[in-house]
Amino acid sequence: MPDAKAPQDTSLVALREVIDGALHEIAGRFSRFLSGRWPHTALVIFTRECTGRPRKVAGATKMINKVTIDELEQLKAAVEPGRPLSTTATIAGAARTVWAVRDPVGTLLVLVPRANAKRFPEPAVLAEIFGIVATSIRQQVTQASPDYLAESRAASNERARTIAEMAAAHEGTLVTILTTLRSTSLGDRRARLAATESASAALVALRSTQESDLTLSAEPAPAAFAKLRKEIRQMLRHHQARIEFVSPPDAGRPLPGDVAYAARAMTRTAALAFTAQPGVASLRIAWLLDGASLRVDMRERDSGRLDVTALHHQLDGRARTLGATIGLDAVPDWGSRATIELPLESTSDHERDDRLSRLNRRELDVLRLLARGTRNKAIATELGVTESTVKFHVTGVLKKLEVASRGEAAALALKAGIAQ
């Protein structure tokens, strides 16, 4: 059994499991990994890069449900990158002792130690371990992995519904109060005036809170495109092709965070494929935005030797997750074109398939082979594991997908298009 006293030496396999599973469960896995050396009652990972779920939490439910973005921002400002800190901070509405680590790119780790913990053990070691976890999160977000996109879309949808319901309920209440207080039949003018001002301020605060929260899950299209332009120029700085960028207009609704990340990642992937063709002298990259979708349009008029099959395979996972459509065309010596249509709102079919985001990479491999009709022994040979390990993974897949049989799991995989 691994020595819990030295995770940095003997628990590399466990650390790999922390970063290898589904992104929305990473806080729980990381909390279990740290519990022996750094005993704690709650853990929070805070990163604004994850637009759908900037707070990833594990531990005491009553506490973690009350942790606010403002509290985390204030604590983050007090912690220098690379300098772990044991301090007292307001977390979940109360002053608590916390162990905090801030990664150089801004990702914050907060541990609320157990009452019997007398000191912050080996903060430098914790910082190094967290650096690996933070890097894994950042890579999944930057590359817009299907796991990240599914988690981000599910979280954004749920938060938007909750905010809308709360806003509607509170707004209705406050409007009723205002209507009553403005009635001339009431006495004590000064009391009514003070109450009216208080209710008005509360109404403004409620609306601003809604707008503030939405900024965490949305990004203006021109700003998202500006980031893309910078990334592609850096990525293709040694390529001779002339790149023309056509930015979307300032007007229009902001992009949901998952769409913005997916569009950048898919455009980068396509740009690499386009410039890998021989003889490409120029490449045009445009984003077009209407009320319902973001359209990525890329074309070159020189080579026409785009590897359409390979590029489609690279883009397919992200496209399926968000319900996007891909169009690829190449005519030798005439040119190549790629179009990607990303809907700004999720469809009900894709919302139901969010169960697939619960699977880690190994479970997805097992599901893919199940969908092909492969038996356990052959799956074990294909993946280089024992048959008992395959049985363990199959049980996990059925549980996470909430299905009762291999056939139901295979049907879900085939519908989602992940059996290839």
pLDDT digits (tens, 9 = 90+) for 36-94: 899 999 999 998 776 556 788 899 888 888 888 888 999 999 999 989 999 999 998 89
Same domain, 174 and 187: yes
Arithmetic mean of pLDDT, 335-341: 94
- Mean pLDDT, range 104-120, rounded to an integer: 89
**Per-residue confidence at 352, pLDDT binned at 50, 70, 90?**
very low
pLDDT interval class at 31 (50, 70, 90): very high
pLDDT higher for 408 or 107? 107
Instruction: State the total domains in the chain.
Output: 4
For 239-250, write each residue's pLDDT tens digit.
Answer: 888 999 999 987
Cβ neighbours around 313 below 10 Å, total: 11
Confidence tier at 383 by pLDDT (50, 70, 90): confident
- Asked if the structure places residue 354 within a domain, the reply is no
Q: Residue 84 belongs to a domain with what CATH number? A: 3.30.450.270
Out of 183, 217, 251, pick the residue that ends a domain: 217
Say whether both 134 and 192 belong to one domain.
Answer: no
**How many other C-beta atoms can be found within 10 angstroms of the C-beta atom of residue 278?**
7
Compute and round to an integer the Cα radius of gyration of the chain.
Answer: 25
Over 80: is that where the pLDDT of 374 sits?
Answer: yes
At residue 77, the pLDDT reads 92
Percent of the chain with pLDDT over 70: 74
Q: The CATH number of the domain where 315 resides is what?
A: 3.30.565.10
* Residue 165 structural domain: 152-217
109: in domain:
yes
- Domain boundary (172, 196, 217) is at 217
Residue range 164-183: mean pLDDT, rounded: 57
- Asked whether the beta carbons of 328 and 308 are under 8 A apart, the reply is yes
- Are 274 and 301 in a shared domain? yes
Same domain, yes or no: 13 and 71: yes
Domain end residue (candidates: 217, 237, 271) = 217
* CA-wise closest residue to 51 among 157, 207, 134, 146: 157
Strands 282-289 and 325-331: unpaired
* Average confidence (pLDDT) over 211-226: 70
CA quadruple 396, 16, 22, 341: dihedral sign: negative
Structure tokens at 242: 């002339």
User: What is the per-residue pLDDT for 153?
Assistant: 58
Mention every residue, 6+ apart, whose C-beta is less than 8 A from residue 370.
Answer: 379, 394, 397, 406, 409, 410, 413
- The answer to whether residue 350 is domain-embedded is no
Residue 402 located in a structural domain: yes
Is 332 a member of any domain? yes
> 182 φ, ψ to 5°?
-80, -5
Confirm whether 1 is domain-assigned. Answer: no
Instruction: State whether 123 and 30 are in the same domain.
Output: yes
d(CA 86, CA 110): 10
pLDDT digits (tens, 9 = 90+) for 395-405: 988 888 888 88
pTM of the model: 0.52
Alpha helix segments (H runs only) across 188-252: 189-216, 221-235
